[in-house]
Structure 1
Amino acid sequence: MDTLLFATNNRNKAKEVEEALRKINFPIHVITNHDLNDPPHVLETGTTFLANAKLKAHKMAKFSNLPTLADDSGLSVDKLNGAPGVYSARYGGEAHNDALNNAKLLAELGGVPKEKRQATFHTTMVVSWPGKFDDDLVAEGEIRGEILTYPRGDGNFGYDPLFFVPDKGKTFAEMTVDEKNAISHRGQALRKLLAELPSWWKKMENE
């Protein structure tokens, strides 16, 4: 095997992973759902980030017969008992509508003081090998921050304009891509994954 399927429609995500693999001298070709013929749609019915990532990785590995990477990420706000959590992408009622999601988050936190607006961004990444789903490679990352009362910055996407990182004095949306990747939940998870992927891959190939 020299191809990894990233179970996503976002080609930029795949490019990021492929470049990172090249840097560690493990040049695996990374493709996405776009490169498959009529891939299935995977319903994210899990109640945790890990469950959703595994659902996607397992289903797409079975379909493609390729080692498959899947991830699930979200924002969990302390004052909202962990919401939006696994529903982050569709919190506003429409999938991946950043404006609706941010508007609902601000409404739900209306009147909540600054010292009670703590939140955590979390990512879980799973790599599955076809037919060997008991040996998934799992990596996670998270970062703590605060939800502002108004958006700041115009970079990146999602809840980034509202997620403020006190140590940096900036929101994710005010950071460059490199600044964000250096500390973000997703950057952390990817670095952990890449540290283990080459040895895990070789083990799967030899079993």
Structure 2
Amino acid sequence: MNQIVLATGNQGKLREFRQLFSALSVQIVAQSEFAVPVADETGLSFVENAIIKARNACQFTGLPAIADDSGIEVDALQGRPGIYSSRYAGKGATDADNIQALLRALEGIEAHERTARFQCVLVFMRHANDPTPLICQGTWQGEILETPTGDAGFGYDPVFWVPETDCSAAQLSAEQKHAISHRGKAMRQFIEEFQYARHQ
């Protein structure tokens, strides 16, 4: 199991996964290298969508696959955009489009009511019919800023304020972000369980 397909076309996620997996002798390959068609995310939860994406990658490549479904939940918006985070401003929306849509939705909302969290669910499947996929989850608490700040990261990072570091997620180095982010937490849990499973 030296090669795992990452079920995403998101270059930011691919970069983070390769950094996080660098300690293991595992090669992370983007599903685009196998011309895998994009899965239709018909699930109603992060877990369901991650399973759909991982299974799709396994089916088209014959390799083990890992899928991440993640997004941001804003309390003042009853948890939206949630599973629709990557397309909050519509199909084909850019990160900037989604950020602007979120800021418009929060106009007039006081700072103390702009609490939010990033959620990440990782699903690993050994093959398309894997009956026991490995599922890991990580959460990152923060608040939504009124204007984007910082130019690192991707997605909603420029408007996600991190109280513990007193800056936006887009102002953190890659190492700082991995140490405390939703994806970093889910990945550490995954790597621990993955290594255990490999040695059984």
TM-score (norm 2): 0.92
Q: 1:34 aligns with which of 27, 32, 52?
A: 32
Task: State whether residues 137 and 200 of structure 1, in contact with CA within 8 Å, keep that contact through their aligned partners in structure 2.
Answer: no
Q: Which residue of 2 aligns with 1:190?
A: 187
2:46–2:69 contact (8 Å) kept in structure 1? yes
**Residues 88-127 of structure 1: CA deviation (Å, up to 9, x unaligned):** 0110114341121111111111111111110010110100
State whether residues 10 and 32 of structure 1, in contact with CA within 8 Å, keep that contact through their aligned partners in structure 2. no
Write the letter of the residue equivalent to 1:82: G
Q: List runs of 5+ in structure 1 lacking aligned partners.
A: none
**Equivalent residue, structure 2, for 1:124:** 121
Per-residue deviation at 1:153? Answer: 1.3
Q: How many corresponding residue pairs?
A: 200
Indicate conservation of the 8 Å contact 1:94/1:100, yes or no: no
- Most deviating of 126-135 and 72-81: 126-135
In structure 2, how many angstroms separate the alpha carbons of the residues matched to 1:28 and 1:148? 37
Name which of 95, 98, 103 aligns with 1:101: 98
Normalised by the size of structure 1, how large is the TM-score?
Answer: 0.89
Written as runs of structure 1 = structure 2, the 5 A alignment for 1:41-190 is: 41-190=38-187
Assess if the C-alpha contact under 8 Å between 1:123 and 1:142 holds in 2.
yes
Moved over 3 A (4+): 10-22
1:18 to partner: Cα distance = 4.6
Secondary structure of 1:47's partner? coil
Structure 2: distance between partners of 1:11 and 1:125: 17
Instruction: Tell me which structure has the larger Cα radius of gyration.
Output: 1
Q: Is the 8 A contact 2:12 2:153 kept in 1?
A: no
